[in-house]
Copies of this chain bind each other. A is one copy, B any other.
Amino acid sequence: MEKDSKDLFNSTIFLIVKFKGYLVRKLARNLISIAIPCLLFSAIHELTEFNFASSFSLPGLLGAALGVLLVFRTNTAYDRWWEARKVLGSMVNICRHFALHIHMQIEESENKKRLFLMLKAFPFVLKEHLRKGVIFEELTFLPDDILEQLKQWQHRPNGLVRMMLQVIEHEYERGNLSDFQRIKFMEYTDNLLVVLGKCERIHNTPIPIAHAYLLKIYIWIYAMIMPIGFIDQLGWWTFVPVLIIYYVAMSLVIIAEEIEDPFGHDPNDLPTDKMAHMIKGNIEEIQYKQPDYQVVV
């Protein structure tokens, strides 16, 4: 789909100012830690007889290894981000199916209303379970007894699903659900737990520390060796290209670190809050929309 490109020009300049500002703040200390040794090198080179200048081939070779690791880091971080998005997308689908089948197959009753409420609560419980714990202020639409029970669970999504299953079993025992329908509803609750498990996996698994560490170390070494190639030509200005290269490489690393765990509140994170409200709206439309379609007999 075509984006409006008319304001690309303006926005580009705006973005440079805004976005670089954001990254520069994050990288401020690192940039200073690079700039100081650079200036030191320049001082030694300019003020003493000592000559660093040499062929530039070593950084070139190191650069290839760095390139490999940067591609790798960017790809794996993005893959996790996109997998997280897919998992949340499948939560949307499951909630819609589940709501449609509650609406169609369970008789009007207090139980039915409560099942709808629990389903609406699930995305809210999930998103905060992945942050710092469920925010009960968001769940005030739940009846008090359900809220009370939920508060007693350590692993709250498990608790919510156990309550859903209890309603379903109860309807089955009262003869309102056939074996087939019960299996179908059990599949939906199982799938809600699968969504949860996948989110937990992405949230709790950092990439292998070796990759995370090595990359930063190599970028640092690279930045320290780089001046050898510039210093003869640039003298006191050596630190300028060094900082630019260091900044470009580290900005990719910082972004990778942000998006590989996309359940927080960063600008690059997924809009889990918006999704929870959207799902709630969808379920309510399925639940309340009147009149039902009149089947022709």
Question: A158-B282, A165-B104, A233-B55 are known contacts. Are A149 and B266 too (CB-CB below 8 A)?
Answer: no
Q: Which of B158, B252, B265 contacts A96 (CB 8 A)?
A: B158
A286 at interface (Cβ–Cβ under 8 A)? Answer: yes
Chain B residues positioned under 8 Å from A56 (CB to CB): 57
Q: Which of B85, B155, B197, B294 contacts A145 (CB 8 A)?
A: B294
Question: A114-B296, A183-B180, A197-B90 are known contacts. Are A8 and B20 too (CB-CB below 8 A)?
Answer: no
Whether the Cβ atoms of B220 and A12 lie closer than 8 Å is yes
A47 at interface (Cβ–Cβ under 8 A)? Answer: no
Known: A55-B229, A78-B211, A153-B289. 16 other contacts (CB 8 A): A3-B257, A15-B217, A61-B245, A62-B244, A67-B68, A68-B71, A71-B71, A85-B201, A89-B201, A93-B196, A96-B193, A97-B193, A100-B158, A104-B165, A155-B282, A166-B295
Whether the Cβ atoms of A162 and B100 lie closer than 8 Å is yes
Whether the Cβ atoms of A217 and B12 lie closer than 8 Å is yes
A74-99 vs B, CB cutoff 8 Å, 1 = contact: the mask equals 11101001100110011011001100
The closest CB in chain B to the CB of A225 belongs to B244
Say which one of A25-33, A38-46, A120-128, A133-141 lies at the interface with B.
A25-33
A264 at interface (Cβ–Cβ under 8 A)? Answer: yes
Chain B residues positioned under 8 Å from A193 (CB to CB): 93, 96-97, 100
Question: A89-B200, A208-B78, A266-B2 are known contacts. Are A9 and B33 too (CB-CB below 8 A)?
Answer: yes
Whether the Cβ atoms of B16 and A111 lie closer than 8 Å is no
Q: Which of B12, B155, B196, B244 contacts A285 (CB 8 A)?
A: B155
The complex places the Cα of A105 from the Cα of B165 at a distance, in Å, of 10
Task: Identify which of residues 145-201 in chain A touch chain B, using a CB-to-CB cut-off of 8 Å.
Answer: 145-146, 149, 152-155, 158-159, 161-163, 165-167, 169-170, 178-180, 182-184, 186, 189-190, 193-194, 196-198, 200-201
Whether the Cβ atoms of A1 and B244 lie closer than 8 Å is no
The dominant DSSP class at the A interface is helix
The complex places the Cα of A71 from the Cα of B281 at a distance, in Å, of 39
Residues of chain A having any CB pair with chain B under 8 Å: 1-3, 5-6, 8-9, 12, 15-16, 19-20, 26-27, 29-30, 32-33, 54-58, 61-65, 67-72, 74-76, 78, 81-82, 85-86, 89-90, 92-93, 96-97, 100-101, 103-105, 109-111, 114, 145-146, 149, 152-155, 158-159, 161-163, 165-167, 169-170, 178-180, 182-184, 186, 189-190, 193-194, 196-198, 200-201, 203, 205, 207-211, 213-214, 216-218, 220-221, 229-230, 233-234, 241, 244-245, 248-249, 251-252, 254-255, 257-259, 261-270, 281-282, 285-286, 289, 291-296
